[in-house]
Amino acid sequence: MPRSLDDDAATRVSAAGRRMLFDTRNEVRVAEAQLARRRAINRVAVVTMTFAAAAILTGASGTMLSWDSSKFVRGDIVCGTAVALCAAVLLIAYDRDLPSRHDLQADLEGKKESLRRLSAHEYPPLAERRLLYREDIVDVVERYQAESRRYRRVHNSLQTLITVGSALTTAIAALDTGKELTWQSVTLTAVSFAVTLASAFTGYYKYRERSYFLQQTADAIEEESNAVSLGVGPYREFGTSQEQEALKLFTERVEDLRNEQRRRQQQLDQPTEQGNPTSQPAG
């Protein structure tokens, strides 16, 4: 059978490759979302099991160390309630249909390897890559903003724990007038321990500084995205026929912002005595 002149095999192969590349990217995104969900569930499980173990240890220690176990009955009830709540949280968070973290991570690595190989064969031209980069920046901004909100929530929660715990410690210490171990003294020890942990985590991980710099970078990238879309600021000189030059400048400026954010992140991960990042948020 003679080949039709309209039968462009190269075009059809290229289109099929692009569709395969698009499908593989979607599979990678789905795998990343599943892995993130599994990691979140695992973190919830670790926190709740740790809290439950601490409640059991506190209740058992208070009962054994108290001369009169009836004096610690209220503490046992509180600890038992905390353990029951932890068990309920574990039951709610548990997802039987979701594979383990190791299986999900292995599946994600396999999909990423397939995507890497497909991308090597279906490498788009420079103009298309810049257009795709501009669209991908929206996800970068959203991710920075989400991480900024998460660090801000953690910082506010720990700061609240420090404030309330300090006040509660003073109140319990005032009530504890006896010399023998009572539920007040045990609670005082537990609260002081929690406050110490919260202070240590706040000072070590620098949640407030991370939130500040992530939000600052997200705002700067969003400003660049709006400027290139509206043709203002550093992009006012580029006309309709110079869109590629504008996109080139946009890519360079955004990459500079992202590199600066990575540098700040590395500085925040360093010990305090090795220096702090510049332009820290005002107290």
SS3 sequence of the chain: CCCCCCCCHHHHHHHHHHHHHHHHHHHHHHHHHHHHHHHHHHHHHHHHHHHHHHHHHHHHHHHHHCCCHHHHHHHHHHHHHHHHHHHHHHHHHCCCCCCCHHHHHHHHHHHHHHHHHHHHHCCCCHHHHHHHHHHHHHHHHHHHHHHHHHHHHHHHHHHHHHHHHHHHHHHHHHHCCCCCCCHHHHHHHHHHHHHHHHHHHHHHHCHHHHHHHHHHHHHHHHHHHHHHHHCCHHHCCCCHHHHHHHHHHHHHHHHHHHHHHHHHHHHHHCCHHHCCCCCCCCC
Instruction: Calculate Rg over the CA atoms of the chain.
Output: 28
Nearest partner of 77 among 65, 59, 61, judged by Cα: 59
Q: How far is CA 264 from CA 252, 254, 278, 283, in A?
A: 19, 15, 8, 18
Q: Within 10 Å of residue 132's Cβ, how many Cβ atoms?
A: 11
AA identity, residue 99: P
Nearest partner of 209 among 256, 267, 170, judged by Cα: 267
Contact between 101 and 14 (Cβ < 8 Å): no
Tell me what pLDDT residue 1 has: 46
AA identity, residue 84: A
Determine the angle formed by the axes of helices 9-65 and 183-205, rounding to 10 degrees: 150
**Block mean pLDDT (10 aa), the chain, length 283:** 52 66 80 84 84 79 64 72 82 78 84 74 69 75 84 82 75 63 72 79 83 93 90 86 88 92 84 53 49
Residues 6+ apart with CB under 8 A from 217: 144, 257, 258, 260, 261
Residue 168 host element (H or E): helix 126-175
Q: Which residue matches tokens 């292995």?
A: 106
Tell me what pLDDT residue 222 has: 93
